[in-house]
Structure 1
Amino acid sequence: MKKKTLRFFILLNFLILTGCAVKEKEAIGDPVPEQPSKPALPKASLLLEKKLKKIPIRIGETIFYPSQELIRFYKNRNYRLSWSDNGKLLTRANLLVQEIENSSNEGLEPEDYKINLIKKLLGEIHRLEQNEEQKLEFIVNLDLLLTNSFLLYSSHLIHGRINPELIDDTWSINYREVDPVEVLENVVESNRLIEVIEELKPEAPEYKRLRNALIQYKDIAAKGGWPRIIEGPVLKEGSRDNRVITLRKRLILSGDLKEYPPPDPQVFDKPLEHAVRRFQRRHGLVVDGIVGPSTLEAINVPVERRISQIKLNMERWRWLPKKMEDRYILINTASFELHVVEQHRTVMKMKVIVGKPYWHTPIFSAKMSYIELNPHWNIPRSIFAEEILPKIKNDPDYLLKERIKVLESWSPDANEVDPYSIDWQSVTEENFKYRLRQEPGPTNPLGKIKFMFPNRFNVYLHDTPRKNLFERKERSFSHGCIRVEKPIELAEYVLRMNQGWDKKRLYSEINKGKTKQIELKQQIPVYILYFTTWVDESGDIYFYKDIYGRDSILENALKRVSPSA
């Protein structure tokens, strides 16, 4: 008994002493702050975090590589799911599936966004209502796929599927600065998925009209397309041929001919001739109402090929600013046309001449800041070497006849050099140190006016003394600059904010024969673009020849980046 009592007192003293020691230590040292306990993540978030830390992710038979944007999105929200809540799919998940299924109407490929796998998982989730563990796995996988689809789809709507700079080193138009992650965060917060996606699409009416054309042509394809017309003699008004029946059907399907009961189905009549003319006009052909080899070739292009062409040009619109300025000039080099646009409507239109296929006009935008009347032409070295130098060697008086001066350098204040003091027979492009400048006059290729929008390509709009070239259907004759059909009308338009500059005054200044620079009171954006498909304000669809081969380059690039190709 005594021993037990002794052990008790020894233990009690030890506890008292150690308790005091702890209190003294805590009193001496700094207070230790309480550490808040980290809230436990839900099972779904834990599973999602685990998946994102073990890349690639396998979903069924599919190997999935999440993008950095996807990882950033989930990390920002502490790995919470975005498309379901407590195992139940949110409405926006079904809305996104519908949007992805309809992405083909935007010229995109639904399977690029894994739509079939998403629909398969949706079916599995409904089947596994009673199996919570398996359902959780499917819900997390579905969330990953939906997020991936949204981020990729929104990126394609904002920037396009291809970076244009990767396929065209002349591309020089600024990208839209939009972060798809921020867009998705906005969707999750506001629950406005349909509205947000619609806001990402280009606002240009031209893009929307292309989308309508795509839907129209897809409908034609779904019904079997249009018939092919076999080769044979030229078809024209008065021709009697079995192929006329097929031709009439073909033009009815493309909307060039209204259906009517012909007196003789095999006879090429006046309504059919009008339809052929309309078709030729829409395809950049010589408009003569005759179905010759060129027209027959265009007629026999399959509808599927035209659908692909529409898609390529919708992609090009996605490379441009979402909203264009209220007033701008657009040159479509593929159609050889200039459009002056105000509030989405073309208020002036004219023909242009663009660069040759091997000297093509670049794609870029800049602001027109001044025009020059009676301009000089500083002859580029490449043109001097290829075209001017051989003429000088053949004719020592060539420079004098063409009013071309030789200057000692490219400096603005360079002195003039006597051309007869130069041994032209020994001159080459490499050893030629001078500058050639053609004075204003009837043979100056810049004509009476040039329109300047400074850019790295030294490309501009200008008049031309060779007006006859505007009568050609294909007008790719320049060295890259753009010749305009109606320079006086265009000059009057761009100077409308400069008081007093009407046609009468322009002609008066031009007739003085002196070079005059006029700064624009209001600069005008200029877009030099390339569209081989165009839908005008009346809904007519135009297809143009791919003069620079850019369609095939873009098509091949899209095939390389598309998982569904």
Structure 2
Amino acid sequence: MRQFTVLKHSLAMAIVATTSLSTVSEASAQNFFGRLFNSNRNVQQDGPHAPVRRVQPAPQVKAPAATAPSAPVAAAPAARPKPAPIKKVSAPSYYTYRTPALVPINFARLLPTGSAEITGSIEPAAAESAFDRALDGLRDYQLTAEKEIAAAIEKHYAAHPDFIWVQDGSTHARAEAALAVLDDAASYGLEPGDYQVTRLSAAAEGEVSATTEAGLIRFEMALSARVLRYIRDAHAGRINPNLISGYHDFPDKPIDYAAALDSLTSGIDVKSYLETQHPQNAEYRALRSELKTLRAELPETAIRVDPKLLLKPGQSSSELPKMLSLIVQKSDAAYKAAHGAAIEANAGGEIYTPELVTAVKAAQEAHGLKADGVIGPRTVAVIAGMSKADKINKVEVALEQLRWHPSQLGDTLVLLNAASFQAIYRENGVDKLTMRTVVGSPATQTSFFYDEIERVEYNPYWGVPRSIIVNEMLPRLLNDPGYLDRAGYEVTDAKGQRIPSSAINWAAHGSNIPYNVRQTPSEANALGELKIMFPNKHAIYMHDTPQKSFFSRDARALSHGCVRLSDPRGMAAAVLGSDLAHVEAKLAKGHSSEKITRKIPVYVAYFTAWPNQAGQVSYVPDVYDRDEKVLTALRKTSDSRAPAM
């Protein structure tokens, strides 16, 4: 019995010593990590890997001696700080679009010195020009324009006090050419009302009076303002895409309005000059041609199905009979022989029965869709098609979006169209490679911008974005700090020092995690075997994926924002100007990086209407609901410009 008591006492002492040692060591480690937290945290996730330095273990601390052998004292547990609040990292948001304010053009600097005090008529000096004599007509004239355009008009006419659009008391030939272009604005998807100018009346032509002089000078200024607006819209777009959402990211497209007025004053062909302000690429021309064709078509009488229909087996919908009618209309004799009886037996019914599911699957397969039996937006779009009005809206949106891009897209490029889940590699004007993609989900959308491809990384590391660390990893790390160690991730501080995930108090920092997390190269790596980089602030790039099954789906908005490629090796070989053998050899050597030696623009795009190289336009559903945001901004722009004068 005494031996048992002694053994029991010895075990108790050992436990006290071990507990004290563990507690002090943990506290020492936390103090060490705390000294690292004030360093710079803005480390690019996909930048070069910093040198790895492992954290040295904390020094051994001797446990305090027990005060009495018979009454061991338990060590007080270390006080843990109160967990910091965790605020999830939000995705970019959509804004309420606000149009830039129009400003009145200040004609005061154009008027003769002291004219503000003159109340009566003045006998014009013999040397006065027709322009000088007409200036008094601007005294109480109110004309608004965009701020930059107003400034350009004030500056130009102060430096060059002469007419551009008027000659011998009537409109100049160049004015007629400009007015014809403005009248044709709708053919480019622009709004003609934005460029409206009141013509000179017949009474204003011929003999010039004080009244007609006022009309001439006002016509001059109004036409200059609206021509410059047309140039602005044709060159850069009617709206500012960056005011739509944080997903839109386009550089400014500056315009030298003063130079434009100088050019229009010269003997250039006004019609050609104005038309060349539009994008000069084949896609823009094809979309404009499609718009003309659509508007010329007769009013439609087709059956219309809700484009957002989502009907699963066993459910019911009033849209089902219309969908079945369209399937029959667009099917061949073999399909009707196999499934016509089942559809006819359920004609008018709204319940999606097993017999109808079989018929719909066959129709999906016939139209190149995944035969899953679910009647969703993509099935409706492909089988039912879109209304004429919807197509016109999509083409007008696409024309506007192209105006945000460079006029010449380039002969060699990569187009990543998130709306159609498609990647295209074009070389010397020919589409040489087309593949399926997986893009961002509606909650984590792929952004809309353009850049230039810089390099290919083989067997890459995956620098985990902060949004994923905070929103998805952190909840698990709070209960399982060693999760990242076991899952093949490396954790480093801002100085590149490696820190075991299990040694970090993840609750201490809330959303302000002062660590970088990356996944090491492996078959399980989220980026697969390679990624193609065009560094940008959105941390978006092209890459491989271990989740190959996603490419068999029709709707593939499933990622965190990056673009997954169904044929990453093919795309890598294409942008490198090499072949698959070269890419395979690089992959066999482990982690490495290879620079792109030529300039290849990449367009991370979003077009729900887009032409192929033959000029045929395809239409796809608006998975992010972005088209309506653009249409709303366009309507607001027209409303803000409504008073043409």
Query: TM over 0.5, yes or no?
Result: yes
Match of 1:180 among 229, 233, 257: 257
User: Contact 2:370–2:553 at 8 Å: present in 1 too?
Assistant: no
Match of 1:488 among 569, 572, 585: 569
1:278 & 1:224 partners in 2: Cα distance?
Answer: 30
Q: Which residue of 2 aligns with 1:82?
A: 164
User: Contact 1:173–1:364 at 8 Å: present in 2 too?
Assistant: yes
Greater mean alpha carbon deviation, residues 429-438 or residues 452-461: 429-438
Q: What SS does the aligned partner of 2:433 have?
A: strand
Q: What SS does the aligned partner of 1:156 have?
A: helix
1:422 & 1:66 partners in 2: Cα distance?
Answer: 58
1:171 & 1:39 partners in 2: Cα distance?
Answer: 58
Gap change, CA 1:224 and 1:153, over 3 Å in 2: same
> What is the deviation of 1:315?
0.8
1:36-84 alpha-carbon deviations (Å, 9 max, x no partner): xx9732244332x3344544159xxxxxx98333333322321x22222
Counterpart AA for 2:213:
L
TM-score by length of 2: 0.66
Please tell me whether residue 457 in structure 1 is matched to residue 457 in structure 2.
no
User: Contact 1:405–1:439 at 8 Å: present in 2 too?
Assistant: yes
1:4-52 alpha-carbon deviations (Å, 9 max, x no partner): xxxxxxxxxxxxxxxxxxxxxxxxxxxxxxxxxx9732244332x3344
Gap change, CA 1:480 and 1:233, over 3 Å in 2: closer
> What is the deviation of 1:172?
3.5
Q: Which residue of 2 aligns with 1:561?
A: 637
TM-score by length of 1: 0.75
Match of 2:129 among 33, 38, 42: 42
Counterpart AA for 1:480:
G
Please tell me whether residue 316 in structure 1 is matched to residue 391 in structure 2.
no
Gap change, CA 1:360 and 1:292, over 3 Å in 2: closer
Please tell me whether residue 370 in structure 1 is matched to residue 455 in structure 2.
yes
> What is the deviation of 1:363?
2.2
> What is the deviation of 1:304?
2.0
1:128 & 1:421 partners in 2: Cα distance?
Answer: 88
Gap change, CA 1:403 and 1:199, over 3 Å in 2: same
> What is the deviation of 1:106?
0.4
> What is the deviation of 1:181?
3.3
Structure 1: runs of 5+ lacking an equivalent = 1-37, 59-64, 252-256
Match of 1:113 among 195, 201, 214: 195
User: Contact 1:151–1:181 at 8 Å: present in 2 too?
Assistant: no
Q: Which residue of 2 aligns with 1:99?
A: 181
Q: Which residue of 1 aligns with 2:547?
A: 466
Counterpart AA for 2:249:
S
Q: Which residue of 2 aligns with 1:227?
A: 302
Identity, in percent, stands at 25
Match of 1:67 among 134, 150, 153: 150
User: Contact 1:235–1:292 at 8 Å: present in 2 too?
Assistant: no
> What is the deviation of 1:110?
1.1
Using CA pairs under 8 Å that are at least 6 residues apart, name the structure with larger relative contact order, 1 or 2: 2
> What is the deviation of 1:212?
0.6
Gap change, CA 1:410 and 1:465, over 3 Å in 2: farther
1:345-374 alpha-carbon deviations (Å, 9 max, x no partner): 322222222222222222222222221111
2:240 & 2:439 partners in 1: Cα distance?
Answer: 24
1:171 & 1:98 partners in 2: Cα distance?
Answer: 34
Gap change, CA 1:472 and 1:126, over 3 Å in 2: farther
2:130 & 2:286 partners in 1: Cα distance?
Answer: 48
Please tell me whether residue 417 in structure 1 is matched to residue 499 in structure 2.
yes
> What is the deviation of 1:103?
0.9
> What is the deviation of 1:104?
0.4
2:413 & 2:239 partners in 1: Cα distance?
Answer: 25
1:69 & 1:542 partners in 2: Cα distance?
Answer: 41
Q: Which residue of 1 aligns with 2:223?
A: 146
> What pairs up with 1:135-284 in 2 under 5 angstroms?
135-220=212-297, 223-229=298-304, 233=320
> What pairs up with 1:482-521 in 2 under 5 angstroms?
482-496=563-577, 502-512=579-589, 514-521=590-597
1:242-266 alpha-carbon deviations (Å, 9 max, x no partner): x789x56xx9xxxxx9xxxx9xxx9
Q: What SS does the aligned partner of 2:184 have?
A: helix
How many residues are aligned here?
Answer: 478
User: Contact 1:56–1:66 at 8 Å: present in 2 too?
Assistant: no
Q: What SS does the aligned partner of 2:457 have?
A: strand
Q: Aligned-residue CA RMSD in angstroms?
A: 3.6
Q: Which residue of 1 aligns with 2:603?
A: 527
Structure 2: runs of 5+ lacking an equivalent = 1-124, 306-317, 344-359
User: Contact 2:182–2:192 at 8 Å: present in 1 too?
Assistant: yes
Counterpart AA for 1:410:
A
2:143 & 2:512 partners in 1: Cα distance?
Answer: 62
Counterpart AA for 1:45:
D
Q: What SS does the aligned partner of 1:521 have?
A: coil
> What is the deviation of 1:141?
3.0
Gap change, CA 1:343 and 1:278, over 3 Å in 2: farther
Gap change, CA 1:278 and 1:416, over 3 Å in 2: closer
1:52 & 1:101 partners in 2: Cα distance?
Answer: 25
2:167 & 2:296 partners in 1: Cα distance?
Answer: 39
